[in-house]
Structure formats: C-alpha cells, structure tokens
Amino acid sequence: MTRLPVLLAAQARFPAPEFENYTLPRMSLEELASDSVLWRVLVLGVFLAVGSLCFYKWRSRKAMLAYSLAGLAVLGFLFASCPCPVGMFQNVAQGIAGGSYIQPGVLLLFALPLAVALFAGRIFCGGACPLGAVQELLHWKSVYIPRPLDRILRLIPVLLLLVFTVCALFGIGFPLCYFEPYLPVFLLDFASPFAILSAVFLILGLFVSRPFCRYVCPYGVLLRFFSMFSALKPRITAHECVNCRLCEQGCPNGAVLPPENAGTAAQHRAGSRRISMLVACIPFALAAGGLFGYLGAPVLSSFHRDIRLLNELEAGIRSEAVEAFESSETTEAELRARVVKLQNGILLASTAAGVLFGALVMAELIAEARRRKEEEIYTIDPSLCFCCGRCYAACPLERKEKHHEK
C-alpha cells in the first residue's frame, strides 16, 4: 500500500452539509471521568487498620491469611491493582521535579503505608499490597537462601529505587510500573508478552518466599527503613520464650533473629577491627559508586524519548518517531537544546545516585558487622517482617494457649 500523506491539522476540505430532516448524532463520550484514586486511599486506610488489628491484637496466622486474601480480591482484582502505592514514589519524584500529575490521591497512596510503617511496621506488605498478597498466598515450600546471598540480593531494590527515581525525575518513564510482573495477573490478561514475567515470578514465588518483595520492590526499601522506627514491635509469644527455635525455622523471610549473647572480649576486638576497616573503605565505596553512576548515565539517557529521537535523527534512521517529529512544529535546534539540558541533568543525578548507592551499601555492611543488642529470646526484626503471622502459628506456647481458649 502506498503511504498516505499525513496531514496533521484537521482540514475542513468539505463543508458540513446542510440537511433538511437530520440532526447530528451526539458523540457518545462521557464528559466526566470517574477518579478511583481517592477511593483506593480510603479502602487502603481501612485495610491497614484491620491488618494492624489482625497482627497485633488477634495475633493469628489465619486472620493474616484472610487479610491477604481480602487484599488480593479487593485491591488486586476489583481495583485492578494499578495505580498502587508501590509505584507512587515515581509519581512523587516526577511531581517534585515539576511534572504535572501530582495529586492528593497519589500523595496519600504514597504516604499512608509509610506513615503506618512508622507505628505498626510493614502491615502494608502483609496483604494490603496486592503484589505482596499474591506472593503470600502462592507460596508452597521455602527454599533456604544463604545469608550472604540474601544480603547481596537485598541491595538490588536499593539500586532499583535510585535508578527508577532518576528515571522518573527526568521523564524517562516509570520502569517499575512498566515491568510490574503481577499486572497481567490482576488484569487476567495472559496473552500479553509481560505474562512471561508474571509466570517467572509466580513460579519462583512457589519456592522462594516473596521474591518480588525481598529482591525487587523499591518501595520496600522505604518501608524497610521506616519500619525500623516502628512504635509497635511484634512479639512472637507473650509467654516466657523457651527458645525452641521453631519460629526461626517457620519464618521464610529471615525476619526472626536468634538470641544474641554478650560475646567475649576477643570477639569484640575482632568486631571493632572489622568495623574500622569498613569505615576506612567508605571513601572508596563512594568513589566507585559515583563512577558507576557516571558511566551508567548514557545508558539511562538512551531510554529517554527525546534523546533517542535525536540519535535516530542524526544517524539518519527513518523511524516512525523521526517521521512524526518532522511533521511536527518543533525544530531540530529546540530538540537539541532540550536534549543537552536533559543529558547534563541525568549525568549529575546518576552520579549522585551512584554515590548514594555506595554509601547505602557501606551502611548495610556496617550494620551487618555490628553486634546486635543483647537478647535472650528469639525476636522479630520489624524491618524484614512482612507480617504474615507464621511465627505465631509456629510457636508451641501460642498454640497451647489458643487450644486452651477453645
């Protein structure tokens, strides 16, 4: 077929005819779009409140399962998952950078789970997050992930948070929402090419507990940080702990910490030596991170629409984007000026993000090298706890009490 000349402006080549017995049909377009975001915020608030009750008051695994099931049904399938708080950090970043769609609903979706994390830990992850709920319910057998590997994999979300924030700041896009692996599940669209990603994560999730939450989710990094200061701390049992270790084995997320003894003087010396060595490494880590960010900037830039367009234009590629650009009113000089500004911005932000990543890696290493506070019983680390309630179910003392109540 020959290409038709594309004329962008609507042209009134033919005047509207004057009819005798004919009225123009109305266009069937709704004049007002219903905005579900504030509804989502309301439902999310209710969910978080009920979830906190289930976890801290009723202390029941069954209640937490019901909570995830409800979360999956309502926030996952009924509200079609998107937009959800997990991706909102990108909207907030773009809004702060001068983007246009910063709205009360978006900000509330972003802030509410974090505010709750300050008081009740990661209740959001437990089931109000549809992505967390689907992973919680579709988990079969836990494969043990060695601690060092877990700690290394846990840095991926930190990196993703920084990279995606830079992407959102400069209008490259919202990669997290683009590649969100569970969206095809919630939309029940298994024909889309992204359904392969869903399948990978769902199958992985059968054996590895919450693979997305632990090793991908950038919002989880924020939640992890905020829940460190949580006012409410979950206790595995209200009774005298007998240190049977069943809760530690029951937790698939590595959130149950074993008792910590006071340690010998030799251990203390070795510990402080390790920490001082790590502190000495900080400048190198920052420099390496900065270099990494500096070198990564061109890669990030190449995903930006305008930069890609200019590259294609200069290389003489006749892509659809180039043809669309040529028929638009923007001149090449304007585009070039915009691209230069963008490239500089991305370079700066990416380098800064790299330095920050280096700092965060070192912080993680130092936190790992430090001795924990002395503790005689098994405790929960609220920053890693996804509030699933498995430890309550595993604890023999809790079970005994539940049995007596009946």
Partner 1 sequence: MTRRDMIRTGLLALIAAPFAALFRKRGETGTGYFWQIDPDKCVQCGKCETECILAQSAVKCVHQYASCGYCLFCSGYYQDKRIRFNTAGENMRCPTDAITRTYIEDPYFEYRIDEEKCIGCGKCVKGCLAFGNGSLFLQVKRDLCKNCNECRIAKACPADAFVRVPADHPYIYRKPPEVKS
Q: What does the DSSP assignment read for 355-399? A: HHHHHHHHHHHHHHHSPPPPBSS-EE-TTT-----HHHHH-HHHH
Contact 123, 68 (CB under 8 A): no
Nearest approach, Cβ of residue 137 and partner 1 (Å): 22
Nearest distance from C-beta of residue 307 to partner 1, angstroms: 13
| Binding-site string for partner 1 from residue 133 to residue 172, where x marks contact by CB under 8 A and - marks none | ----------------------------------------
| Shortest distance in whole angstroms from residue 405 CB to partner 1 | 34
Q: What's the longest Cα–Cα distance across the chain? A: 102
Site for partner 1 in 199-228 (CB under 8 A): 226
Window of 189-197, 348-356, 363-371, 379-387 that interacts with partner 1 by CB under 8 A: 189-197
3-class SS of residue 256: strand
Indicate which single residue of 47, 55, 110, 124 sits in contact with partner 1 (rule: CB under 8 A).
Answer: 110
Task: Considering only residues 372 through 401, tell me which ones interact with partner 1, judged by CB under 8 A.
Answer: none
Nearer to partner 1 among residue 175 and residue 271 (C-beta): 175
Number of CB atoms found within 10 A of residue 249's CB: 14
Nearer to partner 1, 6 or 262 (CB): 6
Of positions 60, 103, 142, 249, contacts partner 1 by CB under 8 A:
103
- Report d(CA 112, CA 78) in Å as an integer: 20
Phi, psi of 379 (to 5 degrees): -125, 170
Provide the minimum distance between the beta carbon of 130 and partner 1 in the complex, in angstroms, as a whole number. Answer: 13
- Least Cβ distance, residue 314 to partner 1 (angstroms): 17
Show contacts with partner 1 in window 297-356 (CB under 8 A): 305, 319-321, 323-325, 327-328
| Shortest distance in whole angstroms from residue 199 CB to partner 1 | 16
Inter-residue contact 114 to 226 (CB < 8 Å): yes
Dihedral sign for Cα atoms in the order 286, 288, 294, 297: negative
Closest by CA to 389, choosing from 51, 71, 24, 10, is: 51
By rule CB under 8 A, what count of residues binds partner 1?
A: 80
Taking CB under 8 A as the rule, does residue 107 contact partner 1?
Answer: yes
CA–CA separation, 342 vs 328, rounded Å?
21
For the record, the structure tokens of 268 come out as 């203390």
64 vs 360, beta carbon nearer partner 1: 360
Q: Judged by CB under 8 A, which of 146, 148, 149, 191 binds partner 1?
A: 191
Tokens in use for 261? 């003894």
Q: How far is the CB of 378 from partner 1 (least distance, A)?
A: 22
> Which positions from 249 through 288 interact with partner 1, judged by CB under 8 A?
none
Distance CA 207, CA 359 (A): 32
Phi-psi region of 277 (alpha: psi -120 to 50; beta: other; left: phi over 0): alpha
* Residue (of 213, 255, 8, 251) closest to 128 by Cα position: 213
In 3D space, the residue among 399, 404, 400, 405 whose CA is nearest the CA of residue 62 turns out to be 399
Residue from 229, 260, 272, 374 that binds partner 1 (CB under 8 A)?
229
CB of 313 to partner 1, least distance (A): 13
- Which CB atom, from 17 or from 148, has the smaller least distance to partner 1? 17
**Minimal distance, residue 140 CB to partner 1, in Å:** 28
Q: 36-55 mask for partner 1 (x: CB under 8 A)?
A: -x------------------
Least CB distance to partner 1 at residue 275 (A): 21
Q: Residue 239: count other Cβ atoms within 10 Å of its Cβ.
A: 13
11 binds partner 1 (CB under 8 A): yes
Cα dist from 357 to 22, 95, 149, 267, whole Å:
68, 23, 18, 30
In whole angstroms, how close is the CB of 162 to partner 1 at the nearest point? 17
Closer residue to partner 1 (CB): 20 or 405: 20
Which position among 29, 265, 266, 315 is part of the footprint of partner 1 (CB under 8 A)?
29
In degrees rounded to 5, what are phi and psi of residue 257? -100, 135
Which residue's entry shows tokens 């978006």? 106
Stretch that binds partner 1, among 76-84, 239-247, 258-266, 284-292 (CB under 8 A): 76-84
